[in-house]
Structure 1
């Protein structure tokens, strides 16, 4: 028995360099990047750009797999349950890795222990939108009517992130509205344009083309600064809601236990890509902003966001799921 144990120990030592070599050869086949939202959303758009740049840098295909629905839980669990080998990654927005923790009493996973942070990459502000035919010409008009008709206006919500964003704003305004759930910003805005809901907070990048096309109107921004592509749109902070700041940010996560060498390879590749001039130009043209951070910085940011959003949910007594 002792000889057997010794043999296994020696075998493990002998195989360790081979495992390291296998990891150093990463990637050896296509990588799957799971996106929790549908094609056409701002999240999907920037994920596809990242995938294209990753392909060039890593020398292997990076395939997008859209798995919308379930407030991004479906996508998160797909990655969590995948082999921890670096070939299945999560393109995460706020929802699956921060907001869901605050929003669910019994979340079927823990993003702090079930996922490895890889890199934080970019963000987009959100817009407050109404249909083109809406009587509300300003945010003040919308808010006044929402207060007057407490609980009678409906808003579209593409995920738990937008639920928190809208409920927080309604709390600050002193109004109530009913949430109508959708699978991402694109279907939310489609129904908004069709007058199926009264207003929505949704991705700026997804809404701007519809604004320019005359399908919907944007009344305010959720960020702390105006956007060059729509300089006439005020921020909610400018309108008097000084504490309000909510953006959609994106990062990449891997299954827990993914080898550090693979995480480091991905981290270095992604940060190099998202700090270069080509990406800066792409982000500006598509109404995004760089928001880069290492795996360590992403984890710290993730923890801070979970704490912030959990406090918001409790502070404003937002309904949990």
Structure 2
């Protein structure tokens, strides 16, 4: 009986200390970070930069895996269904962790409960741009052209932020364009340059090199303030006389729900250190990227607020769930 009692107490003690022991030894093998968009996208570039810096802090490599498709849903689903041990992470965005809930009739996971917030990484504005052969010099002229040719102008989209930003702009300006879906931002950019589509609204990582090379024409940025990276472009509000147009892309890191709090804390510390790193800040300054280190709790609150914000934007733009 004494032996049985002792073994019972030992098992109980081990159960209590297991999470602590796990946190003390974490990480003891490589970590996988899933980027739910294609290689070359802003999410990919930012995710890889953070992964490299976080690897230095954690002492283990963070291997980036691209899992693109369905506005980021495929990659998010992979992470949602992974073991909650801190070895599979999601480089999430407003697509995966705010807007998808309103864009899809049914998700293979519960967006509100499937993920444990780790850290907010930062945000970037988007740029509205057209093919060089579109006969407009500014956003006001584009609106006039679109009004004269309802649904004849086409716009590309490879993510939620790209589509919703364009649809909300169209709704507010009273125009109608035809939506052309793409699997990746780089693929959409190729077709914009080639003239297969007329307009594309995307992040600076995809847009700025092509604008500066003269391959496409930038018209406006989707933030409320002009970007230091391309100050000559007006905001949508400036260009069209709006007051409350703003749709930007943001990036954050998540783990599967149930990941131990001590592991989340280690990852948060490493992510915030990367966000404060001058190399990371300088590397992406030209893309309009602004870091914002914060706690997991702050990210949870932001995710809740952003989900409500994007739900309203999607309703206002009259985008039907697919």
Alignment partner, residue 261 of structure 1: 262
Relative to structure 1, is the Cα distance of residues 252 and 5 closer, same or farther in structure 2, using a 3 angstrom cutoff? farther
1:206 is matched with which residue? 206
Q: CA deviation at 1:206?
A: 1.3
- On the 8 A contact 2:156/2:200 being kept in 1, the answer is yes
1:275 corresponds in structure 2 to 276
Structure 1 window deviating more from structure 2 (168-177 vs 204-213): it is: 204-213
Q: Is the 8 A contact 2:127 2:219 kept in 1?
A: yes
In structure 1, C-alpha distance between the alignment counterparts of 2:313 and 2:230, rounded to whole Å: 29
For residues 6 and 124 of structure 1, the distance between their equivalents in structure 2, rounded to whole angstroms, comes to 58
Contact kept in structure 2, 1:124 and 1:205, CA below 8 Å: no
Task: Give, in angstroms, the shift of residue 310 of structure 1.
Answer: 1.1
1:310 is the counterpart of 2:311: yes
Summarize deviations over 1:96-148 as a string: whole Å, max 9, x none.
11010121222222222000000001111100011122212111111111122
Shift of 1:161: 2.2
Range with greater deviation from structure 2 (260-269 or 105-114): 105-114
Residues of 2 paired with 1:137 and 1:9: CA distance? 76
Under a length normalisation based on structure 2, what TM-score does the superposition of the two structures give? Answer: 0.94
RMSD of Structure 2 on Structure 1 (CA) = 1.9
Residue number in structure 1 paired with 2:288: 287
Q: In the alignment, what sits opposite 2:108?
A: 108
Unaligned runs of at least 5 residues, structure 1: none
2:65 is matched with which residue? Answer: 65
Cα gap change, 1:4 to 1:256, in 2 (>3 Å): farther
163-172 or 176-185: bigger deviation? 176-185
In the TM superposition, residue 15 of structure 1 has moved relative to its aligned partner by: 4.1
Superimposed CA distance per residue, residues 234-293 of structure 1 (whole angstroms, 9 cap, x where no aligned partner): 001112122110111000000010000000000111112212333332231443111332
Deviation digits for residues 1-43 of structure 1 (CA, Å, limit 9, x no counterpart): 9x97985464132343244212211110111010011111111
Residue 43 of structure 2 aligns with which residue?
43
CA contact (8 A) 2:171 2:316 kept: no
Distance 1:153 1:8, change over 3 A: farther
Gaps of 5+ in 2: none
Equivalence map 1:1-321=2 (5 Å): 7-8=7-8, 10-239=10-239, 240-321=241-322
Structure 1 counterpart SS, 2:208 = helix
CA distance in 1, matches of 2:261, 2:19: 13
- For residues 273-318 of structure 1, give each alpha carbon's deviation from its aligned partner in whole angstroms, at most 9, with x where no partner exists: 2123333322314431113322111111111111111122223322
Rounded to whole Å, the distance in 2 between the matches of 1:15 and 1:106 is 37
Q: Distance in 1 between matches of 2:209 and 2:9?
A: 61
CA distance 1:145–1:56, change in 2 (3 Å)? same
Q: Distance in 2 between matches of 1:135 and 1:310?
A: 34
Bigger shift: residues 169-178 or 151-160:
151-160
How far off is 1:210 after superposition? 0.7
Find the aligned partners of 1:115 and 1:209 in 2 and give their Cα distance: 34
Q: Does the CA-based 8 Å contact 1:165-1:201 persist in structure 2?
A: yes
CA–CA separation in structure 2 for the residues paired with 1:97 and 1:4: 48
- What is the DSSP-based 3-state SS (H/G/I as helix, E as strand, rest coil) of the residue aligned with 1:293? coil
Paired residue secondary structure (1:292): coil
Count of aligned pairs between the two proteins: 321
Could you list the per-position Cα deviations for residues 164-197 of structure 1 after superposition, in whole angstroms to 9, with x for gaps in the alignment? 1111100001011111111232211111111111
CA distance in 1, matches of 2:253, 2:22: 22
Q: Distance in 2 between matches of 1:151 and 1:111?
A: 33
